[in-house]
Structure 1
Amino acid sequence: MRALVLEDRPIVRDDVPAPTPAPGEVVIQVRRAGVCDTDLQLVRGYMGFRGILGHELVGTVDDPSSSLHGRRVVADINAGCGACPDCRERDGHHCPQRTVLGIAGRDGAFAEMTRMPASCLVPVPDDVPDDHAVFAEPLAAALHVLDVLPARVDDPVLVLGDGKLGLLITLALRGAGVPVRLVGHHRDKLAIAAAVGAEVAL
């Protein structure tokens, strides 16, 4: 299959073997994959990753034995071992043995196909287009900010950076009624934040 593989540098290869799912995993036909700053950091040497990049995806499950077969899905990119205390008591996000799609120990989504545990997959509603669904992973990261804030926030939350994640965090906070100050470098992106009531600074 065709894939973007990070070796000493990123290389598009046409001879990458199709993924073989382990027990509990399914193959996903990738429909869309998003580029994240983490991907660029990996190319620069972050985490020492070698393999197929890409962790933001929407795809179709290709496994006739799975209840998700033929369904469009997005993925929780952290795959825990399922057996350690962290996995049993919390979730796979804190598993010391976890793999992370396209980031640590697991080939990613810049390929025709990838594989993930079925337990990490979330079906995409029919009315959500691929171009929107591919933002599920960064949106989940942005929404996590709401989990760590105090229940009541009166003072503005400062968001530094108007990239994809900074904008998504701003939109999530404003959607929850939290006052936001966004500092960034791009007038067009700051205008998006201002349109939802954020204070902005260039």
Structure 2
Amino acid sequence: MTQTPEVHPDPFEVATMKAAVMHGIRDVRIETRNIPQVRPGHVLVRIKTVGVCGSDVHYFTHGKIGPFVVKAPIILGHESMGVIAQIGEGVKGLQTGDRVTLEPGYPCRTCEYCKKGQYNLCPEMTFMATPPVDGAFVEYVEWPADFVFKVPDMVSDDAAALIEPLAVGVWSVKRGGVKPGDAIVVYGAGPIGCTTLQAAKAAGATTLIAVDLEDYRLDLIRELGATHTINARHEDPQRRIREITGRNLPESHSGADVVFETAGTLKTCQQSMLVARPGGTVVLVGLPPNPMVELDLVAAASREVDIRGIFRYANCYPAALQLVQEGRVNLDKMVTQRYALDQTQEALIFTDEFKNVSMKVMVDF
């Protein structure tokens, strides 16, 4: 039987599009917006699927993340992929019909940080779904072509959208300096914990420990490569990590080479400092709700534990795409639920309230 090809309206004949717009805390409405005009050097992308990120949920439930406060209606969503619908003047290397993933932040390209390759620290950064910039829970997005990446045929739509959280994992592993044979710990077995652990494995880490409170997530991260999982409801993570990483050393000198804090809680931030070995590294990936966290800095300093933060990522999309293309990272396994664009509010509520039975929720167009 001949399959009828998928048909989509010409964006230049249909001048409007649907968008999921957040008007206030726990208040997302489906509205009609004009399709954006394509500027030189930009492309218009018809969005196909978007992952729901923890930051989306935080804006949805609290209306702010640190200094970023929602003061006007905003479109959330930044883990996105789609198909190019129109090419702007001067764009090379892309064409209409290409499947692409969108790096959701772009810098000024001219400041000192950009010129040093640290564009994630650019003071003029524009980032999707960060007030006041609209995100990707919308049918069409216009975006700079140099931050749009073609997706290989063997990479699924879901995986293409989830290159964004994988980029966080790749950057975290780079900041942590993970080496072949390292023992690593990931606090928090959510999506960022899963991508960070897989990126660490791809970098050569051989002892991969995940700590969480939910068996559902721990079971899944074990399927993705964790060699040890610890449910902190039932075990003392600090004791278990010291047992796993002991290497015939005194307890005071056991611990992981690199610890990644991805849960963003006071307790996990504090424990991360204690389970790194002397000379080890702690990478702070998660964002605790209260930025003032009490830490034992004397213990960290006397054991020469390096403490490093990360802010998003820089130049990680090509590497992340390659890891998925080569089968070294599995992003499809992380997708657990799906919603339609009209159900964006339900998707955000589910992600917030059902962490015990979900990993990554996707919104399909």
Do the aligned residues in 1 keep the contact of 2:197 with 2:226 (CA within 8 Å)?
A: no
- Give the direction of change, closer, same or farther, for the CA distance of 1:197–1:39 in structure 2 (3 Å limit): closer
Distance 2:126 2:132 in 1: 5
1:201 corresponds, among 223, 227, 230, to: 230
2:35 corresponds, among 3, 9, 18, to: 18
> Unmatched 5+ residue regions in structure 2?
1-16, 232-365
Greater Cα shift, 148-157 or 117-126:
148-157
Q: How does 1:119-138 map to 2 (within 5 A)?
A: 119-138=146-165
1:173 corresponds, among 196, 200, 206, to: 200
1:27 corresponds, among 33, 44, 48, to: 44
The letter for the 1-side match of 2:63 is: G
2:211 corresponds, among 183, 193, 198, to: 183
Deviation, structure 1 residue 165 = 1.0
Larger Rg: 2
- Give the direction of change, closer, same or farther, for the CA distance of 1:197–1:79 in structure 2 (3 Å limit): closer
What is the Cα-based RMSD across aligned positions, in Å? Answer: 2.0
Task: Map Cα deviations across residues 62-104 of structure 1 (whole Å, 9 max, x no partner).
Answer: 2144433221111221111222222233253221011101224
Do the aligned residues in 2 keep the contact of 1:162 with 1:184 (CA within 8 Å)?
A: yes
- Matched with 1:7 is 23
TM-score, L = length of structure 1: 0.89
Distance 1:57 1:134 in 2: 4
> Unmatched 5+ residue regions in structure 1?
none
2:86 corresponds, among 26, 39, 63, to: 63
- Matched with 2:172 is 145
The letter for the 2-side match of 1:135 is: L
Distance 2:53 2:129 in 1: 11
Do the aligned residues in 1 keep the contact of 2:24 with 2:63 (CA within 8 Å)?
A: no
Distance 2:124 2:56 in 1: 21
1:48 corresponds, among 33, 49, 69, to: 69
Do the aligned residues in 1 keep the contact of 2:169 with 2:192 (CA within 8 Å)?
A: yes
Distance 2:47 2:143 in 1: 12
- Matched with 2:122 is 95
SS at match of 1:58: strand
Greater Cα shift, 92-101 or 168-177:
168-177
Distance 1:132 1:62 in 2: 20
- Give the direction of change, closer, same or farther, for the CA distance of 1:152–1:201 in structure 2 (3 Å limit): same
Distance 2:109 2:132 in 1: 16
Task: Map Cα deviations across residues 118-142 of structure 1 (whole Å, 9 max, x no partner).
Answer: 1101100112121221111001111
